[in-house]
Amino acid sequence: MKTMRKHKQGLIALILVMTLVNFFAQAQTVKKLDPQNFENKLQSVNNPLLVDVRTQGEYNQGHLSNAILIDYNSSEFKSRLSKLDKTKAVFVYCAVGGRSNAAVNVLTGMGFKEIYDLQGGISAWQQAKKPISK
């Protein structure tokens, strides 16, 4: 009985450790950056993927230069993300941060390794007087 109990405790401890390792490994791949650091990192990376996860209407009102639109609410959202190169750095933004945070979770689950999320979204970008394209 004692041996069985120790075995179960060991197994539970192992599962807990593996869960924590996985959590911290994912946390290291995703960075939330303020507009200035987002812009700096975006400029320092070769061939980054810049993804706007807002709607077409929001995108048309203004977006970051060279951003590709992949609407988070679209039925094609996951299939379009799956076509992106997982070895490239992905920079994601939305209006204020909610959809991009959800998109980051999807990207992480798909195996993307280097993900940057614009903290505060394009609203924070504009407040920081950063350029947008129309």
- Answer whether residue 13 is part of any domain: no
DSSP letter (8 states) at residue 111: T
- Answer whether residue 15 is part of any domain: no
- Answer whether residue 17 is part of any domain: no
Domain that holds residue 62: 29-127
pTM of the model: 0.79
Annotation says 91 is catalytic: no
The answer to whether 73 touches 84, Cβ cutoff 8 Å, is: no
User: Looking at the chain, how many residues does it have?
Assistant: 134
CATH number at residue 60: 3.40.250.10
Q: CA–CA separation, 37 vs 120, rounded Å? A: 12
Catalytic residue among 51, 67, 70, 94: 94
Query: In the chain, how many H helices and how many E strands?
Result: 6, 5
Q: CA–CA separation, 130 vs 9, rounded Å? A: 54
Quick one: pLDDT at residue 6? 60
- Answer whether residue 34 is part of any domain: yes
- Answer whether residue 1 is part of any domain: no
What does the pLDDT look like over 66-105, one tens digit per residue? 999 999 999 999 999 999 999 999 999 999 999 999 999 9
Q: Distance from CA of residue 94 to its chain's centroid?
A: 11
- Answer whether residue 33 is part of any domain: yes
What does the pLDDT look like over 39-75, one tens digit per residue? 999 999 999 999 999 999 999 999 999 999 999 999 9
